[in-house]
Amino acid sequence: MNRREETLIPKIGVITDVRIDTPDIKTFRVVTPDGKKAFDHRPGQCAMLSVPGVGEAMFSITSSPTNEEFMEFSIKKCGCVTEWLHQAEVGQQITIRGPYGKPFPVDDEFAGKNMLFIAGGVGLAPLRSVINYCRHYRDRYGKIDIVYGSRSKDDLLDYREIIDEWMTDAGVDVHLTIDREEDGWDGHVGFVPNYVKELGFDTDKTAVLCGPPIMIKFTLDGLVSLGFDKTQIYTTLELRMKCGVGKCGRCNVGAKYVCKDGPVFRCDELDELPDEY
Amino acid sequence: MRKCSLNSLQSVFGKIASSALLYLPVDSADGRAVFSKWDDGTPLSNALNTVRSPKDFFFPQTEDLMRFKTEGKSIEVIDVREETEDFVVFGVRACDVKSFDILDRVFLAEPRDSYYASRRDHGVIVSLACTRPSETCFCSTFGIDAASPAGDVSCWKTESEMFWQANTEKGEALIKKIEELTEECSDEAVKEQQEKTARIMKKLPLAGLNTDAFGGGKTEELFDRPEWTELSEACLGCGTCTFVCPTCQCYDIKDFNTGNGVIRYRCWDSCMYSEFTKMAHGNNRLSQKERFRQRFMHKLVYYPENNDGLFSCVGCGRCLSKCPISMNIAKVMKKLGGE
Amino acid sequence: MQVKEYKPLIVAFCCNWCSYAGADLAGNNRLNYPAEVKIIRVPCSCRVNPMFILRAFQRGADGVILCGCHPGDCHYTSGNYFTRRRMAMLFSMLDFLGIERERTRVEWVSAAEGAKFAATMTEFAEQVAALGENKRLEDLRCKK
Amino acid sequence: MQKITKEQLTEKAVSLLRDGTVTHVLGWSAGEFDYDITPAVFSDEASLRKSFVWNDFCGANFSKYLVSKTRGIEGKLLVFLKPCDTYSFNQLLTEHRFDREKVYAIGIPCEGMADIDKVKAICGDGISSVNCDGEKLLVQSIYEDAPISVSPSDVLAERCVNCKSKKHVAYDELMGEDGDVLDSARFDEVSRIEAMSPDERFLFWQNELSRCIRCNACRDACPACTCEVCVFNNPRSGVENKSPANNFEEQMFHIIRAFHVAGRCTDCGECSRVCPQNIPLHLLNRKFIKEMNECYGEYQAGETVGSKSPLTDYTLEDLEPGEVFDRGDINA
């Protein structure tokens, strides 16, 4: 019996590669036991990963949908599940379900636009998926600017990919910054919001933000002062989630459920929500 | 409409129970009504309502979702779902019947919750009209008529008879089953009872409570109201209101390591709890005021906004009688609605 | 048909300084005590939190015994005096809830009392065996 | 029927607010009906006069609120304490849970509080008002033309029937007369259960505890439960759980909670008052109190500030756990 579908029952995923990105962030490559991608997704969507007996948690899928072989998750060590994952080895099975949430409107609102991606710390994880999607379908978008900052050089995520691929792409400008001066770093030093203002982008762009709440707040203010309209700015939220499908009530803010109506929000939509995220 | 005498009610119950599990409100040893399984002769309680709501039948306080077996690096997922046995819940009050509409819109929305759906498919709800509402009742505020409850079958109990009216296909089937024990009748006695109850409803202390100040789209007006501080001041942060509430449906999913496998189970959770929204790196609702506000905003604004204006409260009054500090949705509505 | 003999599972919390050494001595002297006694070493008998006792029952113990240094001999001077009061109260509460009092015990066993350790365990295991399986403080989820 | 009146308390609070002795008043606020009273902090005369109430339904123990309500206020908080509340007040001071300097405590006499469930058992549902004619409670129901007269002693809450003390053990000022420590029969029910066979006891508690819905009201109302994060809420404690998944979880929660407050519980009875499922949780606490009294000498938590509870103390001659049982046999 039981032919009823049930989203809460996960599939098995296998960790096939673990990349150490920074001292507290690792990127995990996950496929099904028969070596396929667990499911298709759109840029910005999330998946529920779990370790039986430890717990389940929502992570954004960092790999682009254009990657047909596997999914990647960049995970910062900060709680029970993430701590467990950080000591997991290649070959370890976990469970995976998804995809959840509303993706970035890559084929609608973003199409044909100049794109500005702004990320701080592990906030690059959800953006990497959409950045690589835009790079893959390069001709569908205008100029791409990426501003990325973190605490130090060691804390920059996907550093090799940024240097080797993104920086070498035509029409893609990458602006890196770190919070404090550091030996061996000749790039920009300073916080992301300030750097964005210094760079002073034209407002002919669609901006996508992700990072710590405080960075989002100030960057948003900065962009608005540069003349951006809030309808041009997108961000992605994170709240505690359990079900992933708008039923358990945990990620409810205003009339929205972050797991179902988000995590991607346009900033003018956020203004309509109570300040509880 | 059909009827049977109260003297033959036990044989009607017996007939129903011959093909499905039958639950009904029964007086427990300490004098409170609880839903219990009917066995030969179990008398129906005369109490107005049960302490716990009948949502337990469809959304139990805890249920196993799945099991895991782990060995080395590999995991096996074991589906523990079983199709629910057919069951009948008798004696559900009008308010609680309405609560299933509210829960349905959450659990049966895509993707359907198969655990809940299976119970909904196999459960038949037989409602029972109220004749003696309590001072804590305010179902009429939400457009519910206590004297004509919905459900698969509606029942009215008079001094000597029980009247039965099928409302759905499932209900027709149930009535068919007890056809021999009931007789076709006019609805005069029921009408008379309904009019009498309607008169009582108007006399209830909370009869004037209305929802004018609430509903979808009122977030901005209500969210920052200063009254929240005062209203939530004494809140202990316990989960009594949410757990006795027939419409509260927030849940938690947790893993339990049994020593020989892992059970992933679901249990009721409460937005009143301090750790409800706590994440590894912070909490977006730090004070009890914010948590308290969330509960009432959800019931009175957010839920109606997403569900065609339907409020997520049915006025059953359980939270009014059970809150340790007597703070409840009626007081919140009066305060914010400008008394 | 051969009926498998019921062997109760006993969890013994033993303090590191006396009772664990006592258990060691019992082993060194080749004294027999039931193999179903599972020893958990704790720094001091007063390390044992009431939760430990309940957890042991949850995970399938049929009896729980707590062994520490004799009163007056605690390595930390007074730990076992606190244990004595605490466990007296806890066990009495379990008894109040109808959980058989014969399933719990506190015994003082010094490092020199290997024989006492073995005898106590044997006797306790028999006592618990007479009661049969722990049904009143069990967690059905943990049953195999 | 309370000897002190709402007007007396209101005037007192108003005068203390006016002369600046206190800046806030922790009191009872009237509800929809006469019995659904909510604790509230008043900071001005107008709101006091409008909502402050004192009647036979002011059961809530305010002591625990002092932990949160004295934080972050300038000036002093006036609190009205019934005799039983003063024990919790002292116990919290013993545990350094609030700043005594921020509190102005007024002891008020209490004639026992009514239990609305008992009122409803006599008068039925549909109560529109409960008044007092000086002696009897007059209960008006929407189903009756005339009010039903009820003797307060017939509807006293269990904890008040077995009141242990009418004496205030802490206050800055006393209104009315102080009472005495009473010779209560509060341990009778514990003795009755002790006298049962283990099987009967088990069935009794299974029936009670299986009703638990783990709403945590008992814990959250308990003046002895003031941990900032309870172990049962802390994912790092290894025992976090919030569901009554089965009998074991229910038993574990209540055993551990009772044990945690053992020696600190003043027997104020809030746990049983707030339980939505009417579980007699106070019996667990009373069992511990009775046991400790008998084994380690009479001790009343909260009687004085700074006293050492039996479980943080010991003597060289304490009974062995086995002997405690044997003693129990003699009692039975």
Q: Which residues of chain B does D142 touch, with a Cβ-Cβ cutoff of 8 Å?
A: 135, 200, 203-205
Contact A79 B279 (CB under 8 A): yes
Mean pLDDT for C74-86 is: 94
Confidence at A166, pLDDT banded by 50, 70, 90: confident
Q: Is B174 an interface residue toward D (CB < 8 Å)?
A: no
Q: Is B186 an interface residue toward D (CB < 8 Å)?
A: no
| Residues whose CB is less than 8 angstroms from the CB of residue D142 and which lie 6 or more positions away in sequence, other chains included | B135, B200, B203, B204, B205, D126, D127, D128
Report the SS3 class of residue A191: coil
Confidence at B339, pLDDT banded by 50, 70, 90: low
Interface test with A, best of B78, B272, B279, B292 (most A CBs within 10 A): B279
Using CB atoms within 10 A of its CB, is residue A5 exposed (0-12), middle (13-18) or buried (19+)? exposed
Contact D287 C78 (CB under 8 A): no
Q: Which residue of D has its CA nearest to B273?
A: D233
| Ramachandran area for residue B249 (φ above 0: left; ψ -120 to 50: alpha; else beta) | alpha
Enter the tokens of residue A276: 């509880």
Total of domains in chain C: 1
Q: Which residues of chain D does C57 touch, with a Cβ-Cβ cutoff of 8 Å?
A: 248
Interface test with A, best of B110, B245, B284 (most A CBs within 10 A): B284
* Residue C106 within a domain: yes
Enter the tokens of residue B153: 């079958």
- Closest in B249, B255, B277 to A53, CB measured: B255
Contact B48 D125 (CB under 8 A): yes
| Bigger pLDDT: D234 vs D51 | D51
Q: Which residues of chain D does C135 touch, with a Cβ-Cβ cutoff of 8 Å?
A: none
Chains with 3+ CB–CB pairs under 8 A to B are A, C, D
Q: Which residue of D has its CA nearest to C137?
A: D248
* Residue C21 within a domain: yes
Q: How far is D276 from chain C (nearest CA, A)?
A: 21
Contact B262 A53 (CB under 8 A): yes
Report the SS3 class of residue A252: strand
Q: Which residues of chain D does C138 touch, with a Cβ-Cβ cutoff of 8 Å?
A: 248
Return the DSSP state at D309: P
- What is the end-to-end Cα distance of chain C in Å, rounded? 23
Quote the pLDDT of residue A94: 95
Return the DSSP state at D254: H
**Segment among A258-262, B202-206, C77-81, D237-241 with least mean pLDDT:** D237-241
Nearest to D246 by CA among D284, D202, D212, D217: D212
- Residue D304 CA to residue D331 CA, distance in Å, equals 30
Mean pLDDT for A139-163 is: 87
Percent of chain C's residues with pLDDT above 70: 97
Q: Which residues of chain B does C59 touch, with a Cβ-Cβ cutoff of 8 Å?
A: 259
Q: Which residue of B has its CA nearest to D64?
A: B236
Contact D203 C87 (CB under 8 A): no
Percent of chain C's residues with pLDDT above 90: 83
Interface test with D, best of C78, C92, C102, C107 (most D CBs within 10 A): C92
> Which structural domain range is residue C130 located in?
10-142
Q: Which residues of chain C does D190 touch, with a Cβ-Cβ cutoff of 8 Å?
A: 96
Mean pLDDT of chain D: 91
| pTM for the structure as a whole | 0.92
- CATH (domain of A56): 2.40.30.10
Chains C and A touch (3+ CB pairs under 8 A): no
Give the C-alpha distances (Å, rounded to integers) separating D253 from B61, D199, D260.
16, 21, 10
D331 pLDDT higher than 50: no
Whether A93 and A32 map to the same domain: the answer is yes
For residues A192 and A120, the answer to whether their CB atoms sit within 8 Å is yes
pLDDT tens digit string along D251-294? 899 999 999 999 999 999 999 999 999 999 999 999 999 999 99
pLDDT tens digit string along B13-24? 999 999 999 999
pLDDT tens digit string along C6-59? 889 999 999 999 999 999 999 999 999 999 999 999 999 999 999 999 999 998
Q: How far is B237 from chain D (nearest CA, A)?
A: 7
Contact B251 A94 (CB under 8 A): no
**Segment among A31-40, A263-272, B218-227, B271-280 with least mean pLDDT:** B271-280
Q: Is D229 an interface residue toward C (CB < 8 Å)?
A: no
The total of other beta-carbon atoms located within 10 Å of residue D212's CB is 20
Nearest to A125 by CA among A173, A82, A179: A82
Nearest to A232 by CA among A102, A114, A62, A103: A114
Using CB atoms within 10 A of its CB, is residue C78 exposed (0-12), middle (13-18) or buried (19+)? middle
Quote the pLDDT of residue B276: 86
Q: Which residues of chain A does B254 touch, with a Cβ-Cβ cutoff of 8 Å?
A: 55
- CATH (domain of C87): 3.40.50
Percent of chain D's residues with pLDDT above 90: 79
Q: Is A8 an interface residue toward B (CB < 8 Å)?
A: yes
Mean pLDDT of chain A: 89
Q: Which residues of chain A does B112 touch, with a Cβ-Cβ cutoff of 8 Å?
A: 4-5
Question: What's the helix, strand, coil split of chain A in %, to 5?
Answer: 25, 30, 45
Whether A198 and A149 map to the same domain: the answer is yes
Contact D251 C50 (CB under 8 A): no
Mean pLDDT for C1-6 is: 68
Interface test with B, best of D24, D35, D220 (most B CBs within 10 A): D220
B52 pLDDT higher than 60: yes
Q: Is C138 an interface residue toward B (CB < 8 Å)?
A: no
- Closest in B256, B260, B263 to C144, CB measured: B260
pLDDT tens digit string along D218-263? 999 999 999 988 988 887 787 777 777 688 888 899 999 999 999 9
Q: Is D318 an interface residue toward C (CB < 8 Å)?
A: yes
> Which structural domain range is residue A181 located in?
114-236
Q: Which residues of chain B does C144 touch, with a Cβ-Cβ cutoff of 8 Å?
A: 260
Q: How far is C101 from chain D (nearest CA, A)?
A: 8
* Complex-level ipTM: 0.90
pLDDT tens digit string along D110-165? 999 999 999 999 998 899 999 988 889 999 999 999 999 999 999 999 999 999 99
Q: Is D299 an interface residue toward C (CB < 8 Å)?
A: no
D330 pLDDT higher than 50: no
Q: Is D212 an interface residue toward C (CB < 8 Å)?
A: no
**Beta-ladder partners of D140:** D129
Quote the pLDDT of residue B95: 95
Element (H, E) at B165: strand B161-166
Whether A69 and A38 map to the same domain: the answer is yes
For residues B25 and B91, the answer to whether their CB atoms sit within 8 Å is yes
Mean pLDDT for A215-225 is: 89
Interface test with D, best of C95, C97, C142 (most D CBs within 10 A): C97
Contact D259 C89 (CB under 8 A): yes
A25 pLDDT higher than 70: yes
Report the SS3 class of residue A65: coil
pLDDT tens digit string along A187-216? 889 899 888 888 888 888 899 999 888 888
For residues C16 and C104, the answer to whether their CB atoms sit within 8 Å is no
Quote the pLDDT of residue D332: 41
pLDDT tens digit string along A80-93? 899 999 999 999 99
Percent of chain B's residues with pLDDT above 70: 100
* Residue C86 within a domain: yes
Confidence at A3, pLDDT banded by 50, 70, 90: low
* Residue A35 within a domain: yes
D328 pLDDT higher than 80: no
Q: How far is C2 from chain D (nearest CA, A)?
A: 31
* Residue A52 within a domain: yes
* Residue C1 within a domain: no
